[in-house]
Amino acid sequence: MNELQFQLKADHVELCTLLKLSGIADSGGQGKHLVADGEVTVDGRPESRKAAKIRAGQTVRCRGITLHILAR
C-alpha cells in the first residue's frame, strides 16, 4: 500500500477535490464516482459525502493509497 502526505492550504479541503489534487482521481468527476462507489474511507470508515470536509490529522484511503492530511 502506498502512503502519501497531503498538506492543506486552508483549514480543510473537500473530499473530491482532495482526490483530484492528490492524483488518486484524474478529475473531480472521477473523484465523485469513487466516493459514490464506496471506494473511499476517512479514518477507517466508509465516506459517502462527496463534499466532506477533510481536516488535518485525518487519514483518507482509496485505491490502495493512504493519504495523511497535514496542517497548512
For position 24, which CATH number holds?
Answer: 3.10.290.10
Q: What is the pLDDT along the chain (72 residues), one digit of tens a residue?
A: 699 999 999 999 999 999 999 999 999 899 999 999 999 999 999 999 999 999 999 999 999 999 999 998
Counted domains in the chain: 1
Cβ-count burial 42-69 (b if 16+ within 10 Å, e if not)? beeeebeebebebeeebebbbeeeebeb
pLDDT for position 49: 97
| Interatomic CA distance for residues 44 and 40, integer angstroms | 9
Task: Name the residue range of residue 45's domain.
Answer: 2-70
| Interatomic CA distance for residues 53 and 50, integer angstroms | 9
